[in-house]
Amino acid sequence: MSSAGDVQALVTDPRLVEERRGQIVRAAVKLFSEQGYYTTTIQQIAREAGVSTGLIYQYFRDKDDILFLTLKLVLDTYEHDIPPQLEGVENPVERLCMAIWTYCRIVDGLLDATVLAYRSTKSLRADRRALVKDAEIRTNSLIEACLSDSIKAGLMAKVNTYLLAYQMVTFAHSWALKNWSLGERYALSNYVSEGIKLLVEPFLTVKGQRVLEEMRKRTHSFGALEARRPASKKAPARKSETKSRKKQS
């Protein structure tokens, strides 16, 4: 018996499975974002992906499989991409800032899929919803650990690390959820800098403030030399995002 996380394919070539599934998932993300999960059909996904309906069933059993892999892609990217960015960064405040930056950068690359995760996780089977929730908790724990280490090192005042970690994660997700507005006002780097001023800096001790300022001077980031983008100047919209922004608004 297969587990909830298994997505079975009739094709046995791993390279071909990865390539075709990526092609189909990209088409599904576009359609799910534009017209919703329930109203999108396998036939429409096949047409958008440029493949036959029968071919999709070589790689997925049903639409739930496609949605699950789409959401899993987002969560797996957090788990796989954030830890390497923290390697070799010894100071916990610096690790925290780097974790927030990396999280936001991942969201920026997966705007539609991030919004879809908010809209459609409830559409998954119950056992798969549980897997998605577990993956989210693991990702949040990366940020929570940075907060706890900062407190232990005397760099941050005592705070509710669980709740603050969720606020930071929500901040990252907001870049996708409200990108139709935020993307016109901020560059991504400036958005992250403003977030650190709101969600990290107020909780730092004097010692922690010194660490943050030294890091800003050394890296020229997180608020050091960046200026707010004028509200009247619109950021160039990615073509793939134009329709989804209209839907989000």
Q: What are the residue boundaries of the structural domains of the chain, listed by start?
A: 67-248
pLDDT of residue 4: 72
DSSP 123: G
Distance CA 103, CA 97 (A): 10
Rg (CA), the chain: 20
Give the per-residue pLDDT at 221: 78
| pLDDT tens-digit readout, 141-193 | 999 999 999 999 999 999 999 999 999 999 999 999 999 999 999 999 999 99
Residue pair 82/40 in contact (Cβ under 8 Å)? The answer is no
Residue 89's Cβ-count burial label (10 Å; 0-12, 13-18, 19+) is: middle
Do you know the residue count of the chain?
249
DSSP codes of every residue in 62-100: SHHHHHHHHHHHHHHHHHHHHHHHHTT--SHHHHHHHHH
pLDDT tens-digit map of 15-35: 999 899 999 999 999 999 888
| Distance (Å) of CA 236 to CA 39, 103, 178, 180, 240 | 30, 21, 15, 11, 12
Mean of pLDDT values over 43-70: 93
The CA distance from 69 to 233, in Å, is 37
Q: Contact, 150 vs 93, CB < 8 A?
A: yes
d(CA 67, CA 57): 14
pTM: 0.80
Architecture of the domain spanning 67-248: Orthogonal Bundle (1.10)
Over the chain, what is the mean pLDDT?
87
Percent of the chain at pLDDT > 70 equals 88
